[in-house]
């Protein structure tokens, strides 16, 4: 495992973790998680490395070891897409020279980047994402804004308590997190017609957090759907997720 930093489009320092040697696979984690939590801890990165790939794992701004700026100017529209594009530039990769994998927020960011033709990976994997997670982001964001705004008054009997505890455990800078939530918008579903590369949509059998993943797979021009065990958060811990990613990416 190698960890390094690079400078994104606006000067923000972002952390990058790399494992293995071979064709690069860029992995984007979920909201308020990080590369370690989604890709390293449960063995997915190691599985990719053993299969002959290089797992290239970004910590988004406000997450993991990356910076958490609190200046509103650091959060223009589409900031995470721009950070991912800056990573691709930093690695010196061109169209079709990498695979792109995202879970939850990472899946949403990946689809935004490809649908708006900012990035063109060889193959795409989106996990833990459905149609409403793309077209109704503001509803999802409102839940997390409430967690941030009412952080100190949320009690154990509140449905938001688990999310509050998760933010606390990850030591998320709440000021920066709220700015980030406001920087992300809904995706025009018509733009999904641009996602023409082979795509795997993977989702936990009990995961409905971001709407229907099967509907998303049917909407994309060249997608297959694969069900894995678990609900939204614990599906990322299952070995079946890593196995599905490796199997899909390994097919020529």
> What pLDDT, on a 0 to 100 scale, did the predictor assign at position 165?
95
Q: Which residues contact 88 (CB under 8 A, 6 or more apart)?
A: 26, 98, 119
With CA atoms as reference, report the closest residue to 12 among 180, 191, 243, 137.
180
> What pLDDT, on a 0 to 100 scale, did the predictor assign at position 138?
87
Residue with tokens 């370690």: 36
- Give kind and range of the element (H or E) at residue 33: none
Is 126 in a helix, a strand, or coil?
strand
> What pLDDT, on a 0 to 100 scale, did the predictor assign at position 194?
98
Q: In whole angstroms, give the CA distance from residue 168 to residue 163.
A: 9
Q: In whole angstroms, give the CA distance from residue 85 to residue 250.
A: 24
3-state helix, strand, coil in the chain (%, to 5): 40, 15, 40
Pairing label, strands 13-19, 2-7 = antiparallel
Angle, CA 89 vertex, CA 190 and CA 183 arms, to 5°: 50
**CATH code of domain 2-135+187-250:** 3.40.50.1820
Q: In whole angstroms, give the CA distance from residue 166 to residue 172.
A: 9
Ranges of the chain with pLDDT below 70? none
Helix axis angle for 105-115 and 79-91, nearest 10°, is 80
With CA atoms as reference, report the closest residue to 96 among 7, 6, 196, 193.
196
Q: In whole angstroms, give the CA distance from residue 201 to residue 220.
A: 9
> What pLDDT, on a 0 to 100 scale, did the predictor assign at position 183?
94
Evaluate whether 81 touches 109 at the Cβ level (below 8 Å): yes
Q: Which two tokens stand for residue 184?
A: 């992300």
- Give kind and range of the element (H or E) at residue 188: none
Where exactly are the structural domains of the chain?
2-135+187-250
Evaluate whether 196 touches 219 at the Cβ level (below 8 Å): no
Q: In whole angstroms, give the CA distance from residue 85 to residue 80.
A: 9
> What pLDDT, on a 0 to 100 scale, did the predictor assign at position 95?
97
């Amino acid at each position: 495992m190698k960890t390094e930093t690079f400078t994104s489009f606006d000067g923000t320092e972002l952390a990058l973790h790399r494992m293995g040697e071979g064709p690069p696979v860029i992995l984007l984690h979920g909201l308020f998680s990080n590369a370690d939590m989604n890709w390293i801890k449960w063995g997915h990165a190691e599985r990719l490395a053993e299969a002959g790939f290089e797992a290239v794992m970004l910590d988004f701004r406000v997450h993991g070891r990356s910076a958490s700026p609190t200046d509103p100017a650091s959060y223009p529209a589409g900031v995470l897409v721009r950070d991912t594009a800056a990573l691709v530039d930093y690695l010196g990769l061109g169209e079709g020279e990498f695979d792109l994998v995202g879970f939850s927020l990472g899946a949403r960011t990946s689809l935004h980047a490809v649908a708006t033709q900012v990035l063109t990976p060889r193959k795409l994997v989106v996990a833990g994402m459905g149609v409403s997670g793309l077209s109704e982001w503001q509803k999802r964001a409102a839940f997390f804004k409430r967690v941030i705004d009412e952080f100190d008054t949320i009690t154990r009997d509140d449905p938001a308590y688990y999310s509050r505890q998760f933010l606390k455990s990850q030591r998320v800078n709440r000021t920066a997190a709220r700015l980030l939530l406001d920087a992300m918008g809904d995706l025009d579903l018509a733009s999904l017609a641009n996602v023409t590369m082979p795509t795997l949509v993977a989702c936990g059998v009990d995961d409905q957090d971001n709407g229907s993943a099967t509907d998303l797979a049917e909407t994309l021009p060249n997608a297959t759907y694969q069900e894995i065990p678990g609900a939204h958060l614990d599906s990322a811990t299952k070995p079946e997720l890593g196995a599905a990613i490796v199997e899909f990416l390994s097919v020529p």
